Structure 1
Amino acid sequence: MKNPPSLDQLISALKVLPGVGPKSAQRMAYHLLQRDKAGAEKLARALDRALTQLTHCERCNTFSETTLCNVCADDKRRQDTLMVVEMPADLANIEQSQCYDGLYFVLMGRVSPMEGIGTNDIALAKLMARALDGTVEEVIVATNFTAEGEATAHVIGELLKDKGVKLTRIARGLPVGGELEYVDLGTLAQAVYERRGLTR
């Protein structure tokens, strides 16, 4: 028996989420429609609002509803250090660790040739402009310790080499293959405190 087209559309839409295959998407769709219509409506409204109201912060590239996000707008933060992370979830996790009081730049991805993501697919040009704006003295590379994160760190190191800014990399207090979003706060704080030079 064929599904109604609207149900097929919903299942197909849910499959765009990471880690969600056809069976999981189908279960989610059935649950939302049969057991939690209020939740489905809330999800639809939240997604619509996010799509219409969110943009990127002019300075750090994270999601924001205003020109500057709340971190970039905070004049009490150190203006001379810039921590580069892959995704907004990484920024949020570092903020929760309360180990860093500078500013950020969010790449919104990482170099991953296996996924067809090259250097032009993440915000490296915007990072360069931000890192070399005359106020930044240290760039802390806090990409994940995965093959893609290391490749991204290498690219950033090459781009900023000999450009007059101190370049450091967070220490390997994090497990190899680990992602910032899932690391406990104490380990994350230690990695930031023990950061090291990226180029030798």
Structure 2
Amino acid sequence: MMNLNFEVAETVDSSPVIVVDLDGTLTPVDTLHETVLQLHRTSPQAAIGLVQALRQGKAAFKRHVAQSLSLDGALLPLRQDLLEWLTEQHELGRRIVLVSAADQAFVDAVAAHLPFRVDAAIGSDGLANLSGEAKLARIREMVGENFVYAGDAAVDLPIWRASQGAILVGRGMRFEKRLGDVPVVGRFPQQSGPLQAWLRAL
């Protein structure tokens, strides 16, 4: 598990920490949707427990899926334009944190195959679903207020609005007018859809 202790105050560089979402942002696909479909195809018996797990909440559901089927981070399609930019920023000494509502196991699998080492990789833990305000609270706990955020969905709006700068990825471009006074520090428009991304990966 890459759930590392990380304090922005320990860094020499005062540049905002780059916080990056996973599903729809770093990868154009939804890791939960893809793995649930795969679970139905490869292990119908394990899929039966999905309904029961869902009754316990989203985080428990995600944990059940992650424990039933591993994710190969090396095969997951990533947004190359964003990945290249993050790699450049890492080489410049910027701190990068991967924070996602996906289960911790999936976040770890992706972080382990990135071309650079993230300072922390945080996901849902089976109890709390790390999305929206819950994700913002976790980010503030880790890095304080000095961060920029890369996301793609409406649920990311409170995080963008609390950040020092918004990085809009894919569908996130349509939320630019709802950011208020938060500056946009990066734009990565929608490219090919999830199906084309998976076909490229295959």
Shorter-chain TM-score category?
A: 0.3 to 0.5
Instruction: Report 1 or 2 for greater relative contact order, CA contacts < 8 Å, sequence distance ≥ 6.
Output: 2
Give the TM-score of the pair, scaled to structure 1.
0.32
TM-score, with structure 2 as normaliser: 0.32
Judging by fraction of residues, say which structure has more strand: 2
Larger Rg: 1
